[in-house]
A = this chain, B = another copy of it.
Amino acid sequence: MKLATLRNGRPDGHLVVVSRDLTRFASAGRVASNLQDALDEWDRCAPILAAVSDQLNNGEISGMPFDPDDALAPLPRAYQWIDGSGYMVHLDRVRNLKGSKDEELQDEHPLMYQGGSDSFLAPRAPIVIAEDDQALDFEAEVVVVIGHVPMRPTHEDASGAIRLIGICNDVSLRRLVVNDLQNGFGFFHAKPATSFAPIFVTPDELGAAWSDNRLHLRVRIHVNESLYGQPNAGKDVRFDFADLIVAAAQTRELGVGTIIGSGTIANAHDDILPLKHDGIGFGCIAEARTAEKARIGKARTPFLKPGDKIRINAVDADNRSVFGAMEQVVKLL
C-alpha cells in the first residue's frame, strides 16, 4: 500500500491511503489519526489500511483526487532521523570536502549522523535559506521507516523491522560542513530540514523493486530543466538498510517510526554534467563538482541559488513515479 499525509492545520496532518497510480486517495482517519499513530499500532492498523488500499485500487472505493500540493512529508515530524552512508562512491567522491580521515574504517562500518526530525519539508514546500553563500546542495536518498528495534539486533531483526520505504532530499549547506565536523560535535548547522516525497510505500507493494533490503529503482533529479542524475538506488550499495539499522542500534534501541536514510545515492561512472539523456549522473552537486575538478580541472556546476527549482522523483521501468516527486524552489528568508 501507499500512504501519504495531507495538510489539515495540525502538526501531524491527516493520514490517507493513496492509489497505486497516485491519482486518488481514501482517508485513513478511522484507522489512525496520523502516520505515527499507525506505526505505533502497526499490527492492528496495517491490515485495515491494506484492505482500504485494495478497495481503492480495484475501484470498490472511488476516493478523492490526490494532489501532491496538499501533501506534507508522510511523517511531517518524527522521533528520529538517522542518515547513513550506504554508497561508498559518494563518500569517495566527497571525502576531501568533509575532511574525514579513515577510508578503510568507512568501508567496514557505515558512518551515520543524527538528523533533525522536528519539522520535515513538504514535497512542494520551498527550501528556505538565511544566506545565499552557504553552498546549498541537495542529496537524493532512499529512506526506510522502522518499527521498534532492540539494541544489538540481528540482520534479520533489522530487515523485519522495515515498515515503509520512501525518498528524501537531505538538504545540505556545504559551506558549513567542515566547521560542523572539525570544530563542532558533528553535523548540525550544515543539515537544515530534510524534504520528503509525498508517498511512503510498504515493501510488498514494491514487488521486485524491493529486494535484499535495497530499492531497485532509478531516482531522477532535475535542477531547473537540466537532468543532473538518475542513479539506480539498488546498485553500488555497500551497506543495505538492514546493515544500516544494525549499525545504528549498536549502543541503543531504536524507537517506532525511526527513519533511516541511505546516504546520497551514487553509482560508479565517468559522467560529468551536462548529462546525456541516458547518463547516470549525480545524487548531489558536490559530487558533480568533484568529478569536474578531476576531469576538466575546475568545478563549474554551481550550488543551488534562490529561484532554482529542484525535482527528485523515483521512477519504475515504465517511467512512472513511485513515491510522487519532490518539486521545490529555493527561497531566501
Name the residue of chain B whose CB is nearest to the CB of A101.
B183
Give Cα distance in the complex from A101 to B176, angstroms.
16
Q: Jot down 11 A-B pairs with beta carbons below 8 A, ordered by A.
A: A77-B255, A79-B117, A113-B185, A119-B255, A130-B250, A134-B251, A181-B186, A185-B186, A192-B251, A192-B252, A193-B252
* Interface size of A as a range: 35 or more
A253 to chain B: which residues have CB within 8 Å?
119, 193
Measured CA separation A252–B176 after assembly (Å): 13
CB-nearest residue of chain B to A189: B251
Bound: A134/B68 CA distance, A: 47
In the complex, residue of chain B having the shortest beta-carbon distance to the beta carbon of A128: B151
CB distance from A168 to the nearest CB of B (A): 15
Q: Provide the residues of chain B in CB contact with A251, threshold 8 Å.
A: 129-130, 134, 173, 176, 189-190, 192
A205 interface residue per 8 A CB criterion? no
A292 within 8 A of B: no
Assess whether A211 is interfacial by the CB under 8 Å rule.
Answer: no
- Complex Cα distance A254/B77, Å? 11
Number of copies of this protein chain within its complex: 2
Give the distance to chain B from A285, nearest Cβ to Cβ, in Å.
17
Interface of A is mostly: loop
**Interface assignment of A63: CB less than 8 Å from any CB of chain B:** no
Query: Which residue of chain B lies nearest to A131 when distances are taken between CB atoms in the complex?
Result: B251
A182 within 8 A of B: yes
A258 beta carbon closer than 8 Å to chain B: yes
Of residues 4 to 39 in A, which have CB atoms within 8 Å of B's CB atoms? 10-11
Q: Does A158 contact B (CB under 8 A)?
A: no
Task: Knowing A118-B258, A333-B151, say if A181 contacts B189 (CB, 8 Å).
Answer: no
A185 and B111 form a contact (CB under 8 A): yes
Across-interface contacts of A112 in B (CB, < 8 A): 184-185, 188
Report the Cα distance A10→B256, complex, angstroms.
12
**A126 interface residue, CB < 8 Å from B?**
no
A166 located at the interface, meaning its Cβ lies under 8 Å from any Cβ of chain B in the complex: no
Q: Judging by beta carbons under 8 Å apart, are B80 and A113 in contact?
A: no
- Determine if A203 is an interface residue (Cβ-Cβ < 8 Å): no
* Measured CA separation A182–B119 after assembly (Å): 28
Within 8 A of B (CB), among A104-132: 105-106, 111-119, 128-130
Interface flags, A249-273, vs B, CB<8A=1, else 0: 0111111111000000000000000
Q: Are B130 and A183 in contact (CB under 8 A)?
A: no
In the complex, whether A78 has a CB less than 8 A from a CB of chain B is: yes
